[in-house]
Amino acid sequence: MRFAPLVERVAGKGAGAWQIHFAAEQLRKAGRDIIFLTVGDPDQAPPEAVIEATVDSLRRHRTGYAPILGYPEVRAAIAERFAKRTGTPCTADNVVVVPGTPAGLYCALQCLAGPGDEVIVPEPMYATYEAVGGASGARLVNIPLRPERGFHPDLDALAKAITPRTRMIWINSPHNPTGAVFTRTEIERIAALCREHDLWLLSDEVYEDLAFARKHVSKELILCSGTNMCS
C-alpha cells in the first residue's frame, strides 16, 4: 500500500533529524544528563496568574471549542502588545491565534504558495521548515548562511535566487539555530526585493524576546509600503 504524495513531501532530512531528539529523550529517561538544543521547551515554572486562570476556567467548565480565530479578548491583547512594541497600528482583526509557530507557518504557506512555486529560505533552518514547505507543494530554495558572515544573509545571493517562479522570501530572525539577529539594513533590503519582485515576505520572529547582542528589528518596523507581508 502506498501513502499519498503529501507524505513524501513532508519527509526528508528535517523530519529525520527528530530521531536524534527521540534518542536523547531515551537517554534522559535512562538517567543521563542531557541538554536539549532541539525544541524551545522552557523549564521555568509557569506564572501563578496563568495557573490560577487555568484552574478558574476549568471550574467554570470553559472546556469547549474556542472560536476559530481565537478568543476576541486574547486577540485584542496580542494586538495591543504588538502595537506598543512596534509602533505599528494593529487590532484584533489583524490577529489569528494558532497552536504554535509551526501551525502558523503552515497556514501561511497553504494560503500563499503552492505547487510550482518557489520559496527562498536561508539555511540552516529550523527542522520543521522542510515539512511545512513541503506540505504546500512549493519548492524550498535554500540560501546558505555562512559562518564567515556571522550567519547573516548574503543579500546578493538572495537576489540572484529569485526567478519567475519565486513566490515568497521566508526569514527567521532571531535565527534558529544560529542565533544571528538580522540588522535593520538587511531586513530593509529584503523588503525592497519583495517590493521589486511582488513577493510575499514571511517572517518568523518567535524568538524576538531572546535578542541580546543586538536589538531585534521586526519587519513591521520597516517602512515597506506596497510590500505583501505576513508575520
Residue 42 pLDDT exceeds 50: yes
Domain of residue 200 covers 100-230
Residue 52 lies in a domain: no
Residue 40 lies in a domain: no
Q: Looking at residues 192-218, what average pLDDT do you find?
A: 87
Question: What pLDDT shows up at residue 7?
Answer: 84
Question: What pLDDT shows up at residue 231?
Answer: 55
Q: What pTM was computed for the model? A: 0.84
- Residue 164 and residue 189 in one domain: yes
Residues whose CB is less than 8 angstroms from the CB of residue 45 and which lie 6 or more positions away in sequence, other chains included: none
Q: 166 or 9: whose pLDDT is higher?
A: 166
Residue 192 pLDDT exceeds 80: yes
- Residue 76 and residue 107 in one domain: no
Residue 227 pLDDT exceeds 90: no
- Residue 126 and residue 182 in one domain: yes
Helical residues (DSSP H) of 142-183, grouped into ranges: 155-161
Contact 138, 167 (CB under 8 A): yes
Encode pLDDT of 17-26 as tens digits. Answer: 788 889 999 9
- Residue 155 and residue 81 in one domain: no
Residue 177 lies in a domain: yes
Residue 50 lies in a domain: no
Amino acid at 206: V
| Model confidence band, residue 141 (pLDDT cutoffs 50, 70, 90) | very high
- Residue 89 and residue 144 in one domain: no
- Residue 200 and residue 136 in one domain: yes
- Residue 116 and residue 90 in one domain: no
- Count of Cβ atoms closer than 10 Å to residue 58 Cβ: 10
- Residue 128 and residue 194 in one domain: yes
Distances (CA, A) of 136 to 17, 93, 98, 182, 185: 21, 25, 18, 26, 30
- Of 53, 77, 97, the last residue of a domain is 97
Residue 46 lies in a domain: no
Mean pLDDT of the residues in the chain: 89
Q: Report how many domains make up the chain.
A: 2
- Residue 121 and residue 203 in one domain: yes
Question: What pLDDT shows up at residue 185?
Answer: 92
- Of 80, 97, 114, the last residue of a domain is 97
| Model confidence band, residue 229 (pLDDT cutoffs 50, 70, 90) | low
Residue 34 lies in a domain: no
- Residue 215 and residue 116 in one domain: yes
- Residue 91 and residue 193 in one domain: no
Residue 189 pLDDT exceeds 70: yes
Q: 210 or 143: whose pLDDT is higher?
A: 143
Q: Looking at residues 50-68, what average pLDDT do you find?
A: 94
